[in-house]
Structure 1
Amino acid sequence: MGEKQVFRLQGLSCTNCAAKFEKNIRKIDSVDDVDLNFSAAKLTVHGEATIEQLEKAGAFDHIKVYPEKKKAPIIPFYQKRENQLTMLSLLFMMIGYVFYFQIGEDHALTIGTFLLAIAIGGYDLIKNGCKNLIKLHFDMKTLMTIAVIGAAIIGEWAEAAVVVFLFALSEALESYSMDKARKSIQSLMEIAPNRATIKRDNQLIEIDVEDVRIGDTMIVKPGEKIAMDGIVKEGMSYINEAAITGESVPVEKGDGSTVFAGSINEEGALVVDVTKSSEDTTIAKIIHLVEEAQAEKAPTQQFVDRFAKYYTPAIMVLALLVIVIPPVFGADWQTWIYNGLAVLVVGCPCALVISTPVAIVTSIGNAARNGVLVKGGIHLEQLANIDAVAFDKTGTITLGKPVVTDVKVIRGTKEELLQIAGALEAYSEHPIARAIHKKTQNVSLPEATQFQSVTGKGITATIQDVRYKIGNARLFDGIELPSVSENTVLYVGTEDEVMGYLTVADQPRPGIKEQMKKLHQLGVRKTVMLTGDVANVAEKIGQETGVSDVKAELFPEEKLAFIKQLKQSHRVAMVGDGINDAPALAEANIGIAMGGAGTDVALETADIALMGDDLSKIPDSIRLSKRTLRIIKENIGLALLLKVVALLLVIPGWLTLWLAIFADMGATLLVVLNALRLIRKNEN
């Protein structure tokens, strides 16, 4: 495989045109392979091709090609050449109708004006339709061309002009709608700035992000967008990471904190060590994965594409039968040729073909803007049918940050107990030790010496010539201990007695119970917490969080086995951190990774990644998925219903050419507008 070139496209509005464009590019001798992503309007060429060659391949539909790094210009709707020609065609069509009623439909001036409207509005349509007809390639432009030429032959000039205008208008509105849907990706691409302020040789220079090297020192001023992923070396600030995680509440960042390109520095200046190149930043990976996701066809779309493949020839056969059979039995040839042309027009599969992709594109873009990365239409559809959700406990259902929940004194005072506990744990970085650090941060700690760590038990040290210890029950073997039945217990005492104890527990995420309730309301029948923790602690967390079932004391392979068993009776989503839960995430029908912004593994292993640690995104995503599936079904139903109703009008002879294309255009507009409802933020 040769050199890879990536381009952005403008003017790519229909799937048939995309397929033809791709076919034309493959004919270029220097091109080895082509990958055209219609949804993202993105072209990848393996081999060599100039922009001139590519635009020549897309000249039939006026497709413009731009290098990937260059932003395609935004051309207002009214400034596009094809839209201006459509409006000019409308003007001549209206003048033609004035002549039609004033001097008659057969007058040379009337016919000439309608012919001018057809030539202006339908030049590209008829030119490409005739080429397709010669090659026996039947798409919607071929069908329309046959209809227009047929109408002209039988003297229906006004009808031919209306068909041309309405088809051009339909194409223009379809293009506008697809551009609007694609803006979900374009808005992501515009999140990160193109230039960064870098300190090199004690000088501040502003350079393109492509020229920034890993290890460079980046300076971020207050109010600026962060240009590159990195780690804070100096400074403290609050960062708005809404563009990455969907969470609008600013996050405090200081020395050692990770920052992401595209987030906004709200307060203090930061000195950041760059850790990723511009093409490897988190936002760059999100954009890439969203584009790939939108290119992947959902099951419904695959079905529609297969259906359309047989539908178009069937319509052509039906049109031929309408033209031939009635006249064989004595009916008027001209009337039934006209009716057959109307069947061709109304039978265009445009609305049907676009019904699914526009909904998928819009929905995945909506999710990405809200901090949820869905890696394909298939996952979006499957999520709507999930009826069981399994959660890892630590760091998923809980915060993964233990806190001291209780302090019990047996001898002495509470302050003395906290002083001893704080002094003994002062130099430990264990998560439980950090919980004690936080609890004792306002307590004056005595000096401890002669520290000794007892593996699997705790710590001993000397304070004012007395040997103290803190740890689990095994550290106090032989000493009578108070009975404590829940959470992690740290006993504090001397060699001879226990002075008291601290209970430490991981805390459930705020609002978790409400999220579980929402899941159950959305049709999730079973919510399960999977944990390696002891049963009594797990049950307590389970009660606090509102899950319907708890499975405790599980090894990773047992989590995997449980997911396999659950799949036999349910459609299962597994929620975890994407690292130690990778096997279970992969086994579930849908794998959902928490905190995807912080881990590449989560982005790669899961079907859906929550870029932040917000569990409320799960019910939101299921709701969006259900809305998407509902809208897709509505679109397919609308498209087929309008076609069937219009075709039935052939029987009494009521289906006119203008009514046929109005039905086709109406169906296309209805499905597109219906799908664009998904741009709105998720509804409750």
Structure 2
Amino acid sequence: MSEQKKSGSRFGSLNIKGLKEAPAGGNAVQRHVHGPGCNHEHSHDPDEVDGKTHVHTAACAHGHDHGHAHAHGEPHVHGASCSHGHDHGHDHHGHAHSQRVIRPPAHRPAEGGGSALQLDLEGTLPGETDDQGRFARLEAALESQHGITDVHLRRDAGHAEVCIHYQPSLVSVSKLVTLAQKTGAQVAARYLHHTWFVRGMDSADAAQVIEHAVSKMKGVLTASVAYASERLVIEYDKEELKLPDVEARVKSLGYGLEVPMAGHACSHHAHGGGLAPLLELPLVVISGVLLAAGFVVEHFALAPQLVATVLWALSMASGGFFAIRGSVQSIAQLRIDIETMMVVAALGAAVLGAWFEGAFLLFLFSAGHALEHRAMEKARRSIEALGQLRPEVARVRRGSEVVEVPVADVKRGERIVVRPGDRVPLDGVILEGKSSLDQAAITGESMPVARKPGDEVFSGTINCEAALEVEVTRLSSESVLARVVDMVAQAEAQKGKRQRFAQRLERTVAPLVMASAVVFPVVLVLTGTPMKEAVLRAVGLLVAASPCALAISTPSAVLSAVASAARGGVLIKGGIYLELLSGIRAIAFDKTGTLTVGRPRLLSTWAAPGVTREELLGTAAGVEALSAHPLAKAVVDGAAASRIAVPAGRDLEAIHGQGIRAKVGDDAVEVGSTALFAGEAIPEEVTAEVARLEAAGQTTMVVRRAGRYLGVLGVADTLRGGARQVVQALKEGGIERTVMLSGDNALVARSIAQQVGLDEAKAPLMPADKVTAVKELGRTHPVAMVGDGVNDAPALAAAAVGVAMGGAGSDAALETADVVLMSDDLAKLPFALELSKRATAVMKQNLVIALGVSAVLVVAAVLGLTRISQAVVLHEGSTLLVVFNGLRLLAFRPKTPASPPQPATGPQPAAG
């Protein structure tokens, strides 16, 4: 069963009341109404067993059920044309919805009286992440309505919610929900998002200049520039602002904007664009040469003093070229930033005759920025290298010929040929050929993975053995590789608390320092200090207190950590999740497909006295072969593995919730649960064996032929290879509590939890029960939920961090989870946790370095203990130190190579 089929049926049952997400960009949120014209699969009451959800559809005509589908007493509702028989309780059929699950409304008493309604932010205003911009418009619109007293954003439930305080006597809940959805749709339709790649930024100060200028434009609600990932993101009113106006405004500042190409972390023009990348280092070198020449002229008296002064002035102009340009732009916007402070300090030194100090300041400042820019470019290039793994052309079969076509021009449904040694150019499904593919670029798996017709392949992976013909399923811009690159490149925009703290502090410090630099020399002069010395000490204060290191301290660490994680097969969607992951102390696991392989196997065959194993298994396989169900397939595969002759069955009759009947020859054969034989005398030894196998966690099937009981079969899932070692590694890494949340019966769940080494198992649980369990666990420990990203989507969303398995094969996993393990390898989880801790530690170190060095230099400057040149060296040194400290994370690797999941051997059952 493919991952897509599995995810489709499970996810389909979780769309709350048909609420569908509008795409980012502003389409309305709408309810979907099922009816005669509805063509997609319908989610009825699901059969829930062993953590698996079966969704029946109008076209559903699958096999049968041995009576385990209703472990929770859930009724099964058939569609109008549902013609299937019965179900083993496993999911099949369906399509994957690549949208986030919308959580149901919740209520609580409001603090100031009345009631409060919580609505999922994503469902109310799709694409919104904070309480700025578009949310502020939604808030104002709702608060103007009769009966609503307050609207605000809440995050204490582990996810963003719109909290609406209202008076029940004035407005009903149903009307309130409808009003919120209608208003949210109107806001989403008018106020949109847009993202550009920014060319020409050579420092974090340039990002601030652009951000400030764009945010002042009419119609712009919010503007945010992420220097590390070189992105400008705005929320705007489409009725008041045209996007070309933004591009023109930024161009007037000397920078360029372009819409990012899907799957590219960097500009498709020369990286960085503009003058900065071309002239940065040459101007720094010229500045240094002029600085040294002036020093030699003065020291050895080779020429009049005026010559040395001119050389230093030219050094200042060369070294400060971009800083001066940036400061002029900032002053024009009536704002003070780091570059302005540096230029003012240098000019102040020059006015007082300290030309060398002024030139030395701007030389080191520009040298530091050039090195910082190159270092950040290294981190960006490491992300871009992922996207460059995709070939530029594909070999497309058109008729009897194979022609090379640019990947951007290949359409869905076309057939491409992938030769041995080639990289797969586009995502698709194998039509012909068998081979092994190196998927390290996508999943981080160290060993090639076998692939056959019907299996998915991903762009950027390497075909190792034989030629393949692949049907393209995703366009170049939609491929898993392109989406991973985009998400990693944009991760910096999802800022954590340390990133936000550093930004707020930087914006506050700059104007305060500038004001202090004006007041400080006045105070010194009034207390008897000579004017020149007072001004020079003020210049030293400007240099010492400039928050350069603070501005770059967290972006360098976040970008490097996210890039390192992506190379290791882990997708972390933002700095905020990087920080949250480092604080996790409890982990909840889904069972099926997470701790277990997710494919049932025949584990036990018990033949009644006088019956051979061959007769038992052959008879059962003869009738199970009539069904395409996973459990039926397990029986058939078990017979094939034992090379048992299987007689032909016929006349299949499915008894829903109990089992099947068919004929083998002239004999009637029944295979099913004990419920199939209700009211009949079942031999005591058969019921005893059923009880024993079920106690061991296996799903049982009793086999009877011509009235004679042949025996009992036990089918179960198997543990993932290394699952126990992963749990042990997590505990050694600081995880205090591990819990399994399963839809299976409690007996099976406890058995699996004990085998894996988990602290607790909670079962049986419906998806909503898993959400409750995660919230309860979150009251005592910051909790992460690990699942497949589909049927566990509500629980993933309820946790502080949602971790999805197998994101390479699941659109829903990529969309739903905060952290995605791109392969089905649990061994990636300890790596992700360790990396997050390292990254958080580096962020703390950088903040301490940045603030500590500034504090020491400020004190020294105030007391006159340091010269300007010394302050400049220490200041720029601390900036470079935090950058390179952050870049160390690029080298972080898992302690041990990841291995593909393998079924555990021996008696390690995991039913369903």
Question: Which category describes the TM-score, using the shorter chain as reference length?
Answer: over 0.9
- Cα distance change of structure 1 residues 556 and 29 upon mapping to structure 2, 3 Å threshold: closer
- Cα distance change of structure 1 residues 189 and 2 upon mapping to structure 2, 3 Å threshold: farther
Structure 1 residue 393: Cα displacement:
0.8
The answer as to whether partners of 1:247 and 1:612 remain within 8 angstroms in 2 is: yes
Partner residue of 2:880 out of 643, 659, 669:
669
The one-letter code sitting in structure 2 at the alignment partner of 1:16 is D
The answer as to whether partners of 1:402 and 1:435 remain within 8 angstroms in 2 is: yes
- Cα distance change of structure 1 residues 78 and 146 upon mapping to structure 2, 3 Å threshold: closer
**Which secondary structure state, in structure 2, belongs to the residue aligned with residue 355 of structure 1?**
helix
The answer as to whether partners of 1:232 and 1:255 remain within 8 angstroms in 2 is: yes
The one-letter code sitting in structure 1 at the alignment partner of 2:589 is F
Please report the RMSD computed on the Cα atoms of aligned residues, expressed in angstroms. 2.8
Distance in 2 (CA, whole Å) between partners of 1:174 and 1:285 is: 28
The answer as to whether partners of 2:614 and 2:644 remain within 8 angstroms in 1 is: no
Match of 2:674 in 1: 473
Q: How high is the TM-score relative to the length of structure 2?
A: 0.70
Match of 1:492 in 2: 703
Structure 1 residue 624: Cα displacement:
1.1
Partner residue of 1:583 out of 794, 807, 812:
794
The answer as to whether partners of 1:225 and 1:261 remain within 8 angstroms in 2 is: yes
The one-letter code sitting in structure 2 at the alignment partner of 1:471 is G
Q: What are the within-5 Å matches in structure 2 for residues 212-611 of structure 1?
A: 212-410=410-608, 411-442=610-641, 443-452=643-652, 453-477=654-678, 478-480=681-683, 481-483=686-688, 484=692, 485-486=695-696, 487-611=698-822
Distance in 1 (CA, whole Å) between partners of 2:511 and 2:302 is: 38
**Which secondary structure state, in structure 2, belongs to the residue aligned with residue 492 of structure 1?**
strand
The answer as to whether partners of 2:291 and 2:315 remain within 8 angstroms in 1 is: yes
**Which secondary structure state, in structure 1, belongs to the residue aligned with residue 871 of structure 2?**
helix
Distance in 2 (CA, whole Å) between partners of 1:628 and 1:269 is: 42
Distance in 2 (CA, whole Å) between partners of 1:159 and 1:433 is: 83
Structure 1 residue 7: Cα displacement:
5.2
Structure 1 residue 64: Cα displacement:
5.6
Larger CA deviation: 468-477 vs 538-547: 468-477
Superposed CA deviations along residues 216-262 of structure 1, whole A, max 9, x for unmatched, are: 12221111111111111111111222212221222222221111112
Q: How high is the TM-score relative to the length of structure 1?
A: 0.93
* Unmatched 5+ stretches in structure 1: none
The answer as to whether partners of 2:349 and 2:355 remain within 8 angstroms in 1 is: yes
1:641 equivalenced with 2:866 (yes/no): no
**Which secondary structure state, in structure 2, belongs to the residue aligned with residue 137 of structure 1?**
coil
Distance in 2 (CA, whole Å) between partners of 1:125 and 1:181 is: 23
Structure 1 residue 552: Cα displacement:
1.5
Superposed CA deviations along residues 646-668 of structure 1, whole A, max 9, x for unmatched, are: 12223542211111111221111
Distance in 1 (CA, whole Å) between partners of 2:873 and 2:810 is: 51
* Greater length-normalized contact order (CA 8 Å, ≥ 6 residues apart): 2
Structure 1 residue 26: Cα displacement:
7.2
- Cα distance change of structure 1 residues 56 and 363 upon mapping to structure 2, 3 Å threshold: same
The answer as to whether partners of 1:8 and 1:72 remain within 8 angstroms in 2 is: no
**Which secondary structure state, in structure 1, belongs to the residue aligned with residue 320 of structure 2?**
helix
Structure 1 residue 118: Cα displacement:
1.7
Superposed CA deviations along residues 570-603 of structure 1, whole A, max 9, x for unmatched, are: 2111111122212211111111111112221112
Distance in 2 (CA, whole Å) between partners of 1:133 and 1:71 is: 32
Match of 2:208 in 1: 19
Structure 1 residue 33: Cα displacement:
9.0
The answer as to whether partners of 1:5 and 1:47 remain within 8 angstroms in 2 is: no
- Cα distance change of structure 1 residues 654 and 286 upon mapping to structure 2, 3 Å threshold: same
- Cα distance change of structure 1 residues 414 and 637 upon mapping to structure 2, 3 Å threshold: same
The answer as to whether partners of 2:545 and 2:857 remain within 8 angstroms in 1 is: no
Structure 1 residue 469: Cα displacement:
3.2
The answer as to whether partners of 1:31 and 1:48 remain within 8 angstroms in 2 is: no
Superposed CA deviations along residues 454-484 of structure 1, whole A, max 9, x for unmatched, are: 3333334433543333322233442212412
**Which secondary structure state, in structure 2, belongs to the residue aligned with residue 609 of structure 1?**
strand
The answer as to whether partners of 2:253 and 2:329 remain within 8 angstroms in 1 is: no
- Cα distance change of structure 1 residues 350 and 129 upon mapping to structure 2, 3 Å threshold: same
**Which secondary structure state, in structure 1, belongs to the residue aligned with residue 546 of structure 2?**
coil
Structure 1 residue 130: Cα displacement:
4.5
1:623 equivalenced with 2:834 (yes/no): yes
Distance in 2 (CA, whole Å) between partners of 1:492 and 1:137 is: 82
The one-letter code sitting in structure 2 at the alignment partner of 1:437 is V
Partner residue of 2:404 out of 206, 213, 216:
206
The answer as to whether partners of 2:639 and 2:646 remain within 8 angstroms in 1 is: no
Superposed CA deviations along residues 429-469 of structure 1, whole A, max 9, x for unmatched, are: 22222222332224142322334233333334433543333
**Which secondary structure state, in structure 2, belongs to the residue aligned with residue 407 of structure 1?**
strand
Structure 1 residue 531: Cα displacement:
1.0
Match of 2:284 in 1: 86
Superposed CA deviations along residues 74-114 of structure 1, whole A, max 9, x for unmatched, are: 69999831201111111111111112211189722222222
The answer as to whether partners of 2:590 and 2:740 remain within 8 angstroms in 1 is: yes
Match of 1:39 in 2: 228
Greater helix share, 1 or 2? 1
The answer as to whether partners of 2:547 and 2:854 remain within 8 angstroms in 1 is: no
Match of 2:377 in 1: 179
Identity %: 35
The answer as to whether partners of 1:391 and 1:575 remain within 8 angstroms in 2 is: yes
- Cα distance change of structure 1 residues 382 and 200 upon mapping to structure 2, 3 Å threshold: same
- Cα distance change of structure 1 residues 344 and 276 upon mapping to structure 2, 3 Å threshold: same
Distance in 2 (CA, whole Å) between partners of 1:624 and 1:80 is: 35
Structure 1 residue 3: Cα displacement:
11
- Cα distance change of structure 1 residues 449 and 113 upon mapping to structure 2, 3 Å threshold: closer
**Which secondary structure state, in structure 1, belongs to the residue aligned with residue 671 of structure 2?**
strand
Structure 1 residue 384: Cα displacement:
1.0
The one-letter code sitting in structure 2 at the alignment partner of 1:469 is E
Distance in 2 (CA, whole Å) between partners of 1:3 and 1:213 is: 29
**Which secondary structure state, in structure 2, belongs to the residue aligned with residue 682 of structure 1?**
coil
Distance in 1 (CA, whole Å) between partners of 2:747 and 2:333 is: 74
**Which secondary structure state, in structure 2, belongs to the residue aligned with residue 450 of structure 1?**
strand
Distance in 1 (CA, whole Å) between partners of 2:332 and 2:461 is: 54
Distance in 2 (CA, whole Å) between partners of 1:636 and 1:162 is: 26
Distance in 1 (CA, whole Å) between partners of 2:670 and 2:530 is: 106
**Which secondary structure state, in structure 2, belongs to the residue aligned with residue 574 of structure 1?**
strand
Superposed CA deviations along residues 560-579 of structure 1, whole A, max 9, x for unmatched, are: 22122222222111111122
Distance in 1 (CA, whole Å) between partners of 2:728 and 2:640 is: 37
Partner residue of 1:73 out of 270, 284, 304:
270
Distance in 1 (CA, whole Å) between partners of 2:194 and 2:864 is: 54
Partner residue of 2:252 out of 53, 57, 61:
57
The answer as to whether partners of 2:626 and 2:649 remain within 8 angstroms in 1 is: no
Distance in 2 (CA, whole Å) between partners of 1:159 and 1:217 is: 67
The one-letter code sitting in structure 1 at the alignment partner of 2:625 is A
The one-letter code sitting in structure 1 at the alignment partner of 2:398 is R
Distance in 1 (CA, whole Å) between partners of 2:242 and 2:453 is: 45
| Count of matched residue pairs | 681
Distance in 2 (CA, whole Å) between partners of 1:287 and 1:75 is: 18
The answer as to whether partners of 1:290 and 1:374 remain within 8 angstroms in 2 is: yes
**Which secondary structure state, in structure 2, belongs to the residue aligned with residue 272 of structure 1?**
strand
Larger CA deviation: 665-674 vs 116-125: 116-125
- Cα distance change of structure 1 residues 517 and 185 upon mapping to structure 2, 3 Å threshold: same
